[in-house]
A and B are shown apart, each in its own frame.
Chain A
């Protein structure tokens, strides 16, 4: 029971809730949806308030604008929030990341990415799905972290192919190295912009895992 990952899903489409539960049922590690609802209240009230991970739809019913304020409040309360949305534009992705969302997934990215992202988020490990990688590679904001040429290549190609194997093939790397590059990029972003508990946790965990050293910061 202690190893079970608990999830709160905030999404206004009942079918999405059912689908997500189904996806988690097939996850390689036990993941349980403890609460699901159409508004962010679900994540603040028991039983949803103690879940390890919040899967959060930015575009909730009855709201014209994306619920960035809600996202900020959840992040500031120390929650691990995965933004899961129909929106596919990079500015939203970058804003969510800066606010402190652990990752940004679009709904066109299927089950594998959501499950992997959830497992990673519960353990404060980075996960960069292709849509987010694309947003990071096209980021031209002046406060963008400095990336190496190889990191840029991996980002673009991961976005293009959605396949670690293909990126590895093209760049002559192992799939594991591809993941390492993606993680390092994600950490550079975690280390930039607005401070948040989730970002600090990502960086701390990466140092523990030996992914980066304190000197890299």
Chain B
């Protein structure tokens, strides 16, 4: 006969955190929670990269705007009566100015551009450049009289600096292609003019692509800088945890005086009978507490594990052999969450008959504490009955095994 049931229980709705077992009259003031939810790894790197690339984008935009005002604007005015249909140049100029304004607003407000918007703006740049060059005769395309060619490239670069080099090159290729088509439609000029055009195109794109390459280097530097910042952050967190644990340690040491000392005095003066079951249970609990306290002098930075070990200790005292396996780096866990995780595990450990396997898996996305024990299936009900607001539990029973996992998710899956 096998009975199996698998239930996933998200934390019970807005329940208050279960009361903390600390006596309220504790001598020391409650320490501020030393374990704030950590930023997921990689986030710092992301932020650093964001700031660096944003700066580069602003710089490129500034180059573009300066070029448009100091070089393109005078040329536009000079072209007024030269080629006819001057309005197309004006429209092109205004559109490009509009694109620049859009980029500037986005960058200054630190609002990232969606891909569709970015590509629309690039399309506008190419179109505006083409429009502005319509009245210009083929032999003057790309040279100074055709002011719109280079400026469009700068704005495209400012928009796409965040994307991969390949994307930037592709948009530049489209821009170049449009110009080539325009030259073909207007009639290919003399060979020396064409060569000159090619040289202008190469120098303009060359400069712009060089800047794009710099951005690639910037990306890499940003990743390194981010990693360094994260390392530093981890060290700081570890230091803070150590200090908070030390405070907690002293508080608990003081508390021992209230519980252990009366027990010892009771035993010493014969007021308590060692053969009494309750006295023995009390002694076991006190030993577990003291052991935990002594162990913490070795490794103070892993409160979750230490609290779990206390539960394991109690189970071992009842003759259960417990295997503990831990994976993943130490991560700060807020005290209430820790309490829920440990209480769930302790409940299963307490109901184990002979063997249990406790595991802790810590990843950036979640902390999972699991206990598998040869425990009666009724144990599942007891676990489910516990109030939780921060963690989720999953219970599975099969072939006389009870397996409960408590998960604290720091990132949605």
Contacts and interface: CB of A to CB of B under 8 A. Distances in A.
Interface of A: 88, 90, 108, 130-131, 134-135, 137-138, 140, 149, 156-157, 159-163, 165-166, 169-170, 172
A134 B372 contact: no
Given A134-B325, A169-B6, A160 B394 contact: no
B327 A170 contact: no
Interface string B348-380: 000000000101011110001010100000000
Contact of B327 (A159, A163, A172): A159
Contacts, number: 66
The residue in A162, A163, A169 that gathers the most chain B C-beta atoms within 10 A of its C-beta is: A169
Contacts of A90: 327-328
Contact of B405 (A130, A149, A160): A160
12 contacts: A138-B329, A140-B363, A140-B364, A159-B327, A160-B357, A160-B368, A160-B403, A163-B401, A166-B372, A166-B396, A169-B396, A170-B396
The residue in A130, A149, A156, A162 that gathers the most chain B C-beta atoms within 10 A of its C-beta is: A156
Contacts of B398: 165-166, 169
B149 to A, nearest CB: 41
B323 A170 contact: no
Given A160-B361, A160-B368, A160-B372, A140 B329 contact: yes
B270 interface: no
A151 to B, nearest CB: 13
Contact of B325 (A88, A140, A157, A170): A88
Contacts of A166: 372, 396, 398, 401, 403
A108 to B, nearest CB: 7
Nearest to B370: A160
Given A90-B328, A138-B361, A170-B403, A156 B368 contact: yes
B98 interface: no
Given A90-B328, A170-B6, A156 B396 contact: no
A129 to B, nearest CB: 11
B363 A108 contact: no
Contact of A108 (B6, B323, B362, B405): B323
A160 B394 CA distance: 12
B413 interface: yes
A159 B413 CA distance: 19
B308 to A, nearest CB: 14
B361 A159 contact: yes
Interface in B380-408: 394, 396, 398-399, 401, 403, 405
Contacts of B357: 160-162
A168 B146 CA distance: 69
B4 interface: yes
Nearest to A93: B327
Given A90-B327, A138-B328, A166-B372, A160 B359 contact: yes
Contacts of A170: 6, 394, 396, 403
Interface string B318-338: 000001010111000000000
B401 A159 contact: no
B327 A137 contact: yes
A161 B398 CA distance: 12
B384 to A, nearest CB: 15
B389 to A, nearest CB: 23
